[in-house]
Structure 1
Amino acid sequence: MRGLRDAWLWLIKNTLNRGTVRLARAGRGPFALVRHVGRKTGRAYETPLLLARLGDDFVAELTYGPDVSWYRNVMAAGRCEVVVGGVTYAIDRIEVCPPEVGMRAFGHPAAFVLRLMRRRDFRLLRRAS
């Protein structure tokens, strides 16, 4: 099963992500970028995500779980940047976010879809002060 999941993530990374990175950089569409540094390579990466605002902070739903590279890189570094609407924000803390709070942050209709898909793995990305 792991091989199938890895193949799926490779496909997404090398097809869909390329287009969504361009949209997110331009501040268009619903996508945000997470800029992070590889924990093994030291290389800079940009990963497109859907983020929701929660006050001054952001909520991410971990669609593929906490074992994805971007999340592991951010946790190892303890920080990252997010680009939302063309504006860059420094993030210096990441915390587990209760599912109810995450759902509320995404609002309707996204929360409805997340509930249908039984998504419950959210993270709160705290802006650096």
Structure 2
Amino acid sequence: MRHGFLRVLGNTLNRWTTRLARAGRGPFSLVRHVGRKSGKTYETPIIVAPAEGGFIAELTYGENVDWYRNVVAAGGCELVVGGQPHPVVAVEPYPAEAGRRAFGVPARWVLKLLRRHEFRLLRTGD
């Protein structure tokens, strides 16, 4: 069931949010990553918060989503924030409380209410 939901999400909402992220509009950023098996380049919209050393990402669907697994396997990716590309050179675990604080209010409250606890620092090389 979850896999089917993610497929529907990817074919509907992600198309719209990807367009916004490419244009540098709205809260969405793009992760440009290379498939572990296919070698194809993909773009996945996510929401990040700026932090010292890079950007904080909340893993809404956990560590088993393709974009995250591809980035970890490759050791990096390109993150496009506000239309500007940033090379990601490492992905590091990030403490939950600090991760929630990185996001502004009301997003911080929503993350706490939803008990989100999986955050990663996408360390940039710029």
> What TM bracket, shorter-length normalisation?
over 0.9
Residue of 11, 20, 25 corresponding to 1:23: 20
Provide TM-score, normalisation by structure 1.
0.95
Provide TM-score, normalisation by structure 2.
0.98
Residue of 96, 108, 119 corresponding to 1:122: 119
Structure 1 partner of 2:80: 83
Structure 2 partner of 1:50: 47
Structure 1 runs (4+) deviating above 2 angstroms are none
CA distance in 2, matches of 1:55, 1:23: 25
Runs (5+) with no aligned partner, structure 1: none
CA distance in 2, matches of 1:101, 1:5: 28
Alignment of 1:64-79 (within 5 A): 64-79=61-76
CA distance in 1, matches of 2:62, 2:12: 20
CA distance in 1, matches of 2:47, 2:91: 16
Runs (5+) with no aligned partner, structure 2: none
Q: CA deviation at 1:128?
A: 1.3
Structure 1 partner of 2:33: 36
Please tell me the root mean square deviation across aligned C-alpha atoms, in Å: 0.8
Structure 1 partner of 2:2: 5
Letter in 2 for 1:127: T
Letter in 2 for 1:37: V
Structure 2 partner of 1:61: 58
Q: CA deviation at 1:101?
A: 1.1
Structure 2 partner of 1:113: 110
CA distance in 1, matches of 2:116, 2:74: 26
Letter in 1 for 2:20: L
CA distance in 2, matches of 1:56, 1:70: 21
CA distance in 2, matches of 1:46, 1:127: 17
- Post-superposition CA distance 1:92-115 (Å, at most 9, x none): 000000001101111211010001
